[in-house]
Amino acid sequence: SVRALVFYQQVNNIPEDDPSDRALPARISRVKVKISRRKILKSTCEIMRSFAANKSIIEIVFQDEIGSGLGPTLEFYSLASKAWQRENLKLWRSDAAPVIGGIDSAKHAEVTVDDTTTVTVADATNTSSTTDDASGVSDSAGKSKYADASYVYAPHGLFPIPWSKSASDGSVEIMRKNQLCILDALGRFLARAILDGRLLDMSFNKCFLMWLINQEGLFDLSHVKLVDETLWKSLTTLVAVCDTYDAIQRDATLDTAARDSKLKTCTLDGCAIEDLCLSFTLPGHDDIELCDGGAEKDVTLSNLREYVNAIVEVTLVTGVEQQMHAVIEGFEKVFPLSSLHLFSADELDKVICGSDPHVWDSEDLLKVVKADHGYSSASPQLAYLCDVMSSFDRDQQRLFLSFITGCPNLPVGGFKSLRPKLTVVRKSVSKPDDELPSVMTCQNYLKLPPYTSEAVLRERLITAMTEGQGSFLLS
């Protein structure tokens, strides 16, 4: 395909106008979409509905900002990734209190096709109630209720909150319809990111990824640990009681009296299962029945294993199948999910999110960072930079990558796989120690003044990458 040819050119650093035999006639049309930084989620849903299936590459330009091209586009995918994780969407399981962070989100999106034709996408605040109500970001007056949005805390990755088979009332049914529309847009967003080679700043639970590659039929109790470790521990304890019960029932040497006597020892911390007053409802979700009439069905020693198996099934499959089918249907509006079935869940995670975080080694960095336009591999500033980068913790790494590339993650393979390569060029100024470095994100260019010491470089770089977020302007 043309996209494969373009990728070949990028990996081998072949310009599109290379006159040699290496050059390939690979050029893909682009759709430029201009959006505001406000209401990112609504703008993303509108863009995905309108352009996800478009064969052109989507590029993002932020309103009132000069920058265009790869940098703003990668930042858009990062901002949108964060917006999908908002707690008020009520889509995802969370292991703790929501994380507070500031992200507001586009009253409209203006679309330029091939730099000549302009199309105006409907005002996101005037789209159907599915987007407005489901996102929960606007009240009746259209004001943002979440200037300081909360985000779910899911250290093992995002996985949907389970639903009951049917909505309890009309308001819940409307909310679910809205949430399914958002999840459909998320599916398109995921597919579009993979298609265009954009990394996302969101982590999905392994069970979520297994759904995408048609492996939900493999789920068992061990997979509950990936979603809810506390629940898994409780179920494991109950399974031990089940195993003891089954062993007693299979023991042909016991008469009825001896068997009944032994069964009385099948307790949970000395408490009989019947005395726990459990019913066939999902723990933590009394409105979700594990079977028809589950709220009225008591858990006993004889049906305990049935209870455990039902919890596993509802937690991982039937309780989330509506949500996952919405994601899958949205994804397949862009390209077939069967194309991903060759990947394992762990491999798919790297395709979506890039490489795992790790320590940056100074010597390794010197091998992959390109010095140009005033600097060489022997320049002391290059060594200063690599030493400073090697000292960064994970949060500082993310800030640095966002500053340089617009995305807080590296592709699989790390800096070696970054395209274009990270390039450091000399920024000619009269008083270098007083100046901040600047970047050209579309080319992964770091414009670095000739600082006189590593300490000065560290201080000026950290200031720039901390304060220089959130806009693309001329440097």
The pair phi, psi for residue 71, each rounded to 5°, is -60, -60
> How many CA atoms lie within 13 Å of 271's alpha carbon, on the beta-carbon side?
10
- Of these residues, 181, 353, 386, 442, which one is catalytic? 442
Interatomic CA distance for residues 323 and 208, integer angstroms:
10
Q: In the numeric block, which tokens belong to residue 74?
A: 């990668």
Q: Is 291 labeled as catalytic in the residue annotation?
A: no
Smallest CA-to-CA distance from 95 within 161, 182, 146 is with: 161
Apex 198 CA angle, 372 and 460, nearest 5: 45
Active site residues: 442
